[in-house]
Structure 1
């Protein structure tokens, strides 16, 4: 597993800095088990938005894992709320340009918290990563 250094970043964000062995795709060398243990959601997408790999960071209410979403369309099937949004538009623009590195903070209907989405290209493999982090409000100063 690549060395992962966690450091506090701006906007209460955690920044993961990877060794330089594969700067464009540090997650490619991780096993499925290692990806599953990441402290944030990670999905690998094809250019058409189909999910190639992912980790399920939020099991359903019973504590069981949900059925696999590999092979399903992220924007069309899994996260329909994002399908007609700026997120999908930026994904399509990034795919067309072959360059993608954009971050969004989103409020999603039905979720009691906001999420930060980071879309990033993996030029070596021709795939795209979507990282999802739950945002928490900073504690008020006393």
Structure 2
């Protein structure tokens, strides 16, 4: 298993990089349909908030012709519920400072559930991750 160690910036961390075919990769054993059942989603964004990569955890709810989110604006086109000015501003501040690490719990009338959104910087790749977990609506 390849290991990358970085001392760059305030991050002193070791990253274990799993190849898809690596037998030690816990997600590598799952079929695509099983990956979609994981109760959270992830999207990798560039500094402008455009989707670089993602996992599709809601295929049954996003079946609008299945337009790929790659290259689209996460806040304005992909997850409009996340386009709240407070969330977008926190993302922008984190991108500007290089220290993005913020969590929001969101409720939206169009969703039957609440979501927890976690934005995190990827210091090695120079991109930003958004992790989305479904929560029960109280």
Q: Same fold (TM over 0.5)?
A: yes
8 Å Cα contact 1:104-1:117 kept in structure 2 = yes
Contact 1:59 1:65 in 2 (8 A): no
- Deviation for aligned residue 1:60: 2.6
Distance in 2 between the 1:101 and 1:108 partners? 22
Structure 2 unaligned regions, length at least 5 = 3-12, 21-26
Q: Could you tell me how far 1:137 is from its partner in structure 2?
A: 5.7
1:86 equivalent in structure 2: 86
Gaps (5+ residues) in structure 1?
3-19
Which residues of 2 match residues 45-84 of structure 1 at below 5 A? Answer: 45-60=45-60, 66-84=66-84
- Determine the structure 2 residue equivalent to 1:118: 118
Match of 1:13 in 2: none
CA RMSD of aligned residues (A): 3.2
Q: Which residue of structure 1 aligns with residue 10 of structure 2?
A: none
Distance 1:41 1:65, change over 3 A: farther
**How many equivalent residue pairs?**
116
- Structure 1 runs (4+) deviating above 3 angstroms are 28-31, 33-36, 61-65
Alpha-carbon separation, structure 1, partners of 2:78 and 2:48: 14
Superposed displacement of residue 61, structure 1:
5.2
Query: Contact 2:72–2:78 (CA<8 Å) still a contact in 1?
Result: yes
**Conservation of the 8 A alpha-carbon contact between 1:50 and 1:73:** yes
The aligned runs of 1:22-61 (5 Å cut-off) are 22=15, 29=18, 31=20, 34=28, 37=35, 39=38, 40-60=40-60
TM-score between both structures, scaled by the size of structure 1: 0.68
SS of alignment partner, residue 131 of structure 1: strand
Shift of 1:21: 4.2
* 1:75–1:83 contact (8 Å) kept in structure 2: yes
